[in-house]
Structure 1
Amino acid sequence: MIDCLFRSRGVDGGFDVFESTDGTRSNWGPQIQHGSPPLALLTRAIERLAEDTGMRVGRLSLDILGAIPVATVKVRAWVDRPGARIALLVAEMVVDRPDGSSRTVARLTAWLLATSETADAAQDRHPPMLEGETAGATHAWEGASGYLETVEWRRQRTSPDAAFEAWLTPLVPLVDSEPTTALQRLAMVVDCANGTGAVLDPAQFVFMNTDTVVHLHRLPVGQDFGLRARASIGRDGIGVTTAEIFDRSGFIGTSAQTLLVQRQS
């Protein structure tokens, strides 16, 4: 039974150490991690570093620098560009090689911005996305084990020419049984925009994202997150999935993912 995505294993030389559980396994292959668990774990490191700064996350940008194994991983975070109104924080995930050396497999950069009172000027680009009738098949990987077991995925019925929509809810904590913040919960599912917005059959094509970039005009709240997503595929094996992101209170931001598109052999 999967009861969390990572288990804390203490500290090693400035890094927090975590054991990856079966809940991190990708639908593209059982030996590599889905993109959402690393994004969420690095977001956790950013949030902890940002405590008491008076600023909040406006953008998260994850770069996947190599295959992330389902293994022990190490995480650290630092301030790359300090500032009282604008700061850039960085978190990275490292794994050890068999020869004792290490490699960085993922890096997250986060822009933090100072908050102020702008309630009278607040506006959303999109009206709230309401949850309605659930479509028959949730996604193209129906029945896959690993990460997809840790998320309740409710695809919505939409018209044939519209973007695809789904509501997603994390079913397990991020680390052990510790409380998971709303931003971490969003990070646990937002990488699923690529699956939600898929326009290709995964039996015929691989379309793996190399990154996930999230812009937030307000912080998320709650447990449930809606994605309205659609991929665009180029003629040379490169694509992009873009998404609008919602919680139960309404529109909260956007995401974009670069895709490597290849035919299945």
Structure 2
Amino acid sequence: MELAFFTSDDGENLVATDLAVSSWGSDHLHGVAVSGAMARALEQRIEAEGRTDLHPARYTADLFRPAGRAPMTFTTDVVRVGPRLALIDVVAHQEGRAVARASALFLKPTGSTEGEVWSPGGHPSPPPEDVAPPTTEPHVPFLHSDAGWSQDFREHQNASRKTSWNSAVPVVAGEPATAFQAAAAIADGASLVTNWGTRGVEHINTDITLTLVRRPAGTEIGLQAVDRLEQDGIAVGTASVFDREGPLGTIVLTSLANARRTVDLGKEQWEDDGRRTTSGA
């Protein structure tokens, strides 16, 4: 069976597959699937506007209501289109009510300026190619912590800094994932690299802000935790985004403590075909 988060008979109404179901509950879709679907709708709208000269530079999603297994539809609104930019909003609906919304800012690339400006040195890099060969096929994320690189989630349930390396799952069956869809979907995984600690993931993210200086070179995307702050159950995490050609941008997300429904990743393992197993360890 083809791996994808949704199926669609008409290209507009999306029906979630088992791969879109979150670890938070059997009728709860994860943010990777929902975010990817909204990015798809935004990308379709900018293409309908005929603005293929504009590149996605900022994507912000609000995940304000749990999305379930009901069919999902989308409405888009063009806020502004100009010579050098376009701003488009999208709302995801299920059973007549909104479950999430997003906006994207598309900008027109131009020549860079000549002045010198500070930038940090030392950027994250993908796993060695003998560990994670280049691919366009979806796979279980490679993870890095004090345990080194591996695809075994049980090895990384610790308090060290985390990096992930991901190959995007197509949003809709029969449609190859685009670079923007890949980045917007995988951006939800910033919660994994910033909120995963010794007891699992004890926070649920409520939003995503992704910035990009260029389109990703394909659908392989890396995330590395940069910063994290928390007080009174509200956490703010920042992650860097990169691909095999170098840095791409950043992700900032806010999260709420959700300790009563912790996702214990020390007991779960995934296969590349989407199967999940849970151990009693």
Native 8 Å contact 1:198 1:230 kept in 2 = no
What are the Cα deviations for residues 132-182 of structure 1, in whole angstroms up to 9, with x where unaligned?
479xxxxxxxxxxxxxxx642111245999732121112x42211212211
Native 8 Å contact 1:57 1:112 kept in 2 = yes
What are the Cα deviations for residues 94-136 of structure 1, in whole angstroms up to 9, with x where unaligned?
001xxxxx111011101111222339789974544223479xx
Native 8 Å contact 1:36 1:189 kept in 2 = yes
CA displacement at 1:241 relative to structure 2? 1.5
Partners of 1:225 and 1:262 in 2: how far apart? 27
2:34 aligned counterpart, secondary structure: helix
CA spacing shift, 1:116–1:259, aligned 2, 3 Å? same
* Corresponding residue of 2:55: 56
What stretches of structure 1 of length at least 5 have no aligned partner? 97-101, 135-149
Native 8 Å contact 2:179 2:219 kept in 1 = yes
Aligned residues: 239
Q: Does 1:169 align with 2:170?
A: no
2:4 aligned counterpart, secondary structure: coil
Partners of 2:116 and 2:70 in 1: how far apart? 43
Structure whose residues are more often strand by fraction:
1
Q: How do 1:86-105 and structure 2 match up within 5 A?
A: 86-96=85-95, 102-105=96-99
Q: Which residue identity is paired with 2:162?
A: F
RMSD between superposed Cα atoms in Å: 2.8
Q: Does 1:80 align with 2:79?
A: yes
Q: Which residue identity is paired with 1:3?
A: L
Q: Does 1:29 align with 2:28?
A: no
CA spacing shift, 1:153–1:19, aligned 2, 3 Å? same
1:105 aligned counterpart, secondary structure: strand
* Corresponding residue of 1:234: 230
* Corresponding residue of 2:132: none
Native 8 Å contact 2:59 2:184 kept in 1 = no
Q: Which residue identity is paired with 1:207?
A: H
**Larger mean Cα displacement after TM superposition, 185-194 or 156-165:** 156-165
Native 8 Å contact 2:55 2:108 kept in 1 = yes
* Corresponding residue of 1:129: 124
Q: How do 1:1-265 and structure 2 match up within 5 A?
A: 1=1, 3-10=3-10, 16-51=12-47, 52-53=50-51, 54-96=53-95, 102-118=96-112, 125-132=120-127, 151-158=139-146, 163-170=161-168, 172-202=169-199, 206-229=202-225, 232-264=228-260
1:175 aligned counterpart, secondary structure: coil
CA displacement at 1:50 relative to structure 2? 1.3
1:185 aligned counterpart, secondary structure: helix
What stretches of structure 2 of length at least 5 have no aligned partner? 130-137, 148-157, 262-281
1:31 aligned counterpart, secondary structure: coil
What are the Cα deviations for residues 54-113 of structure 1, in whole angstroms up to 9, with x where unaligned?
2221100000121111221001222012322222101111001xxxxx111011101111
| TM-score, normalised relative to structure 2 | 0.76
| TM-score, normalised relative to structure 1 | 0.80
Identity %: 27
Partners of 2:59 and 2:209 in 1: how far apart? 6
